[in-house]
Amino acid sequence: MTDVADAFKHGKAFIPFVTAGDPDLETTKKLVEAMVAAGADLIELGIPFSDPIAEGPVIQAADVRALSNHVTLDEIFAMVKTIELPRPVPLVMMTYVNPVFVYGAEKFTKKAKECGICGLIVPDEPYEEKAELQPACRKAGLKLVSMIAPTSGGRIRMIAGEAEGFVYCVSSLGVTGVRTSFSNNLPDVVTAIKQATKIPVAVGFGVSTPEQARAIAKFADGVIVGSAIVKLVAAHGRDSVPYVSDYVKSMKDAVRSED
Amino acid sequence: MTNPEGRFGIYGGQYVTETLMNALIELEAAYKKYKNDPQFVAELNDLYKNYAGRPSLLYYAANMTEDLGGAKIYLKREDLNHTGAHKINNVLGQCLLAKRMGKTRVIAETGAGQHGVATATVAALMGLKCEIFMGEKDMERQALNVYRMKLLGADVRCVKSGTGTLKDAVNETMREWTNRIADTHYVLGSVMGPHPFPTLVRDFQSVIGKEVRQQMMAKEGRLPDYLIACVGGGSNAIGLFYDFVKDEQVKLIGCEAAGEGVDTPRTAATIATGTVGIFHGMKSYFCQNKDGQIAPVYSISAGLDYPGIGPEHALLHDIGRAQYVPITDEEAVNAFEYLSRKEGIIPAIESAHAVAYAMKLAPTLPKDKIVVVNLSGRGDKDVAAIARYRGVDLHD
């Protein structure tokens, strides 16, 4: 059985994100398979949401494209079941808390597990509200990934101390989207997390170039990229697979160089 | 684990990104520190009295009472406050708090523009930088308020995402807050969002109900029988209700925007058509589908055009302490015109939803019953939209 931790067993991890159903589920399936073939160590599959408050314009637009085709959770689960990976790589879902809550936390996590998902990332469920989904995740055998931000300060120990799978460290203030620079205290935040937990730390939000990925991989265990990939999907639609595949290859090479 | 002070039964909570958590914790601490601080309270009361014009009048609507032929109707004239709505009560409190916290910039969402105007006004008064986020569609509907905010020195940011209404303006203001926290306070405009906002906004608005109690005792020597207010997020309603929640004999009625009707998709009646969900930082009732996607709601009233309701209202509904009734666009527009002609008072289209329910209720009650309607805002901003609704094209 694949586990979230497996992503970090082969050196520095590269973690790409795509939005399920953008532009359609068939393309999402091909993208996931191709990204793994290109060297991705963990796949973050975004559940489209009507009001994604942690996302910048690029992923917001992807959610709109997916939802304009009326993609449903059941259809996403069914698609995930059909994914054929060239090698075992953990899949996690990035979703806002409401789709899980309304679908039913137990039902959602059980179905997710059944179709091969091994963790959830829920940006609007902070430490204080973990009880909303954690019992269901535990029961189903899913890891609930904790997020830590540049503003977390004294909360880092508390959050990291209970974190499971890996810690998702947010690179900067603000929402997702390509950036040219990150929070000045990012290396310090990662160091503080590492002092509080033994589990790996991956950094996301705003990363797009191999140079940025390489710089982050010097002090973190993994690099997460969303908007840069979603931009390629936006530009090339159903024909985006080779573009995304080349991009993932280049990013994986960049983080690998820091092993 | 979840902060029990942020819960109303199962509702409320703090469902926000980790980036915002310390800002909420800091806000809660500051609020606890200052809410009973004599100097803070004195300063706020002085602003209420000498800047906002409080206490607002409790007006006996004799013509309306006689015409409807039932219960006595009083109007709580929040429309007479400076900036023309109840929104100023909350904004004065929050901006004063923001100053105490050392913030130099405020941001806010607005639907009808009333909260945006109030925030821009107080920011001008207190020397704070101000940015207001407003949906594209609402900027069209409320062009006058957009210009008013600019006049007051605020930047108005047009929100084009989603349905271009209040919900999207809240999304964008939250995103902006995540982007810039150190010097910025988010002046949330209703009893919604993550803790401590529902509590803090309620407390600042509860001046409405406290005044009603005193004024009613002075005029009638007893408590009213019914309190009626419109509900979007629900700040004017909770402001009126809160002081009376413990007085079980006083019936509390919130009027939701039914838009074209609760049996159509063009509605914003959250309690009537919504289900429990988690959105905008809180657990409450929301208009949404079975996959938890928030519904694109509709009401003629930009201020009530919101898919959720504050968590304390969700609790008051569940325990049966307050009743929530849907009012259609047509009923609200009729009430808008009725009050204008009957009492010479043009209500905000939001408040007209409460007037509409009073028009249905009063004739069914005996003459010794007393109904208080919260006239949460004035209707100048709505005149063009009502003209359009009636097919009149205004050129000014």
CA A92 to chain centre: 7
For residue B12, list chain A residues with Cβ-Cβ distance below 8 A. Answer: none
| Facing A72 at nearest CB: one of B167, B275, B291 | B291
The DSSP code sequence of B98-130 is HHHTT--EEEEEESSSHHHHHHHHHHHHHT-EE
Q: Are A91 and A112 in contact (CB under 8 A)?
A: no
CB pair distance less than 8 Å for A124 and B21: no
CB pair distance less than 8 Å for A50 and B294: yes
pLDDT at B162: 83
CB pair distance less than 8 Å for B174 and A53: yes
Q: How many CB atoms lie within 10 A of CB B75?
A: 26
For residue B284, list chain A residues with Cβ-Cβ distance below 8 A. Answer: none
Q: How many CB atoms lie within 10 A of CB B62?
A: 12
pLDDT at B284: 98
Closest residue in A to B194 (Cα) is A124
Q: From B125, B283, B277, select the one nearest B198 (Cα to Cα).
A: B283
pLDDT at A257: 84
Is B376 tagged catalytic?
Answer: yes
Q: Are strands B275-279 and B281-286 parallel, antiparallel or unpaired?
A: antiparallel
- Alpha-carbon span A234 to A227, nearest angstrom: 10
- Measured between CA atoms, how close is A193 to chain B, in angstroms? 14
Q: For residues A184-208, b (16+ Cβ closer than 10 Å) or e, as one string? A: eebbebbebbbebbebbbbbbbbbb
pLDDT at B390: 95
Q: Could you tell me the two tokens for B354?
A: 């409460």
Q: From A7, A166, A167, A168, select the one nearest A87 (Cα to Cα).
A: A7
The number of C-alpha atoms within 13 Å of A196 and in the hemisphere containing its C-beta is 22
For residue B179, list chain A residues with Cβ-Cβ distance below 8 A. Answer: 173-175
| Facing A51 at nearest CB: one of B2, B162, B290 | B162
Give this complex's ipTM: 0.97
Q: How many percent of chain A have pLDDT more than 70?
A: 100
Question: What residue spans define the domains of chain A?
Answer: 4-253
pLDDT at B396: 53
| Facing B292 at nearest CB: one of A53, A102, A125 | A102
Q: From B304, B279, B128, select the one nearest B192 (Cα to Cα).
A: B279
- Average pLDDT along chain B, 396 residues, taken 10 residues at a time: 91 98 98 98 98 98 98 98 97 98 98 94 98 94 91 97 90 96 97 98 98 98 98 98 98 98 97 98 98 96 94 98 98 98 98 98 98 97 93 77
Determine if the peptide bond prior to B224 is cis (ω within 30°).
no
The DSSP code sequence of A163-221 is --S-EEEE-SSS-SS--S---TTHHHHHHHHHHH-SS-EEEESS--SHHHHHHHHTTSS
| Facing A51 at nearest CB: one of B1, B167, B178 | B167
CB pair distance less than 8 Å for B15 and A125: yes
pLDDT at B393: 81
For residue B308, list chain A residues with Cβ-Cβ distance below 8 A. Answer: none
Is B18 tagged catalytic?
Answer: no
| Facing B17 at nearest CB: one of A72, A102, A123 | A123
Closest residue in B to A127 (Cα) is B1
- For residue B23, give every residue at least 6 positions away whose Cβ sits within 8 Å of its Cβ, in sequence order, or none: A151, B177, B181
CB pair distance less than 8 Å for B179 and A151: no
pLDDT at B112: 84
Is B109 tagged catalytic?
Answer: yes
Mean pLDDT along residues A93-105: 98
- A131: pLDDT confidence band, cut at 50, 70 and 90? very high
CB pair distance less than 8 Å for B161 and A151: no
Q: Could you tell me the two tokens for A38?
A: 């290109």
Domain A4-253 maps to which CATH number in 3.20.20.70, 3.90.930.12, 3.30.70.920, 3.60.130.10? 3.20.20.70
A interface with B, Cβ–Cβ < 8 A, is 49-51, 53-54, 56, 60, 67, 72-73, 96-103, 123-132, 147-153, 155, 159, 170, 173-175
For residue A96, list chain B residues with Cβ-Cβ distance below 8 A. Answer: 292
Q: How many CB pairs under 8 A join A and B?
A: 122
Q: Which of B72, B76, B87, B137 is catalytic?
A: B87
Pick among B10, B17, B188 to test the A interface (most A CBs inside 10 A):
B17
